[in-house]
Amino acid sequence: MTTRRVDYHWHLRPIMAAHNMWKTTDLAPLLRDRGINLSAAQVYRLVTDKPERLPLRTLAALCDIFDCTPTELIEPFVEATGKKAASAALTSRSRPAEGPGAFRPKPARIVTDDGPASS
């Protein structure tokens, strides 16, 4: 049985770095200016950990601070799990769909003057 597990990557820290913001303490006053009052520990966890719950007001404030969209902060992805998913993952790893590793030569077939050789 195959199940799909939905998860996400949290990109707040790289977005902060792209805006030359290196300390989590620099974010608290910017959030406060937008009506989001978080403790220093909460801001630290927001930046360094992947939040399990995030109020939409906080998300909107982060988007305003960094002039970005929610999809730039949160990158969802799906992991297939189960027996079928494991074999599909192996197949996809062994044969990339495109790019330099996409070409996979066919096995050689020996042909004699009398026709194809039997195996």
Q: What is the pLDDT of residues 88-107, one digit of tens each?
A: 554 444 444 555 555 555 66
- Paired tokens of 96: 């990339």
- Report the C-alpha gap between 8 and 39 in whole angstroms: 25
Q: Is 17 contained in some domain?
A: yes
Q: Is 112 contained in some domain?
A: no
Q: What is the pLDDT of residue 79?
A: 85
- Report the C-alpha gap between 42 and 75 in whole angstroms: 21
Residue 21 belongs to domain spanning = 12-68
Q: Is 58 contained in some domain?
A: yes
Are the C-beta atoms of residues 36 and 57 closer than 8 Å to each other? yes
Check pLDDT > 70 for residue 76. yes
Are the C-beta atoms of residues 77 and 4 closer than 8 Å to each other? no
Q: Is 22 contained in some domain?
A: yes
Q: Is 39 contained in some domain?
A: yes
Q: Is 27 contained in some domain?
A: yes
Check pLDDT > 90 for residue 113. no
Q: Where are the alpha helices (DSSP H) in the chain?
A: 12-18, 27-32, 40-48, 56-66, 70-73, 83-94
Check pLDDT > 60 for residue 63. yes
Q: Is 29 contained in some domain?
A: yes
| Residue 12 CB coordination number (10 Å) | 22
How many domains does the chain fold into? 1
Q: Is 102 contained in some domain?
A: no
Q: What is the pLDDT of residue 10?
A: 96
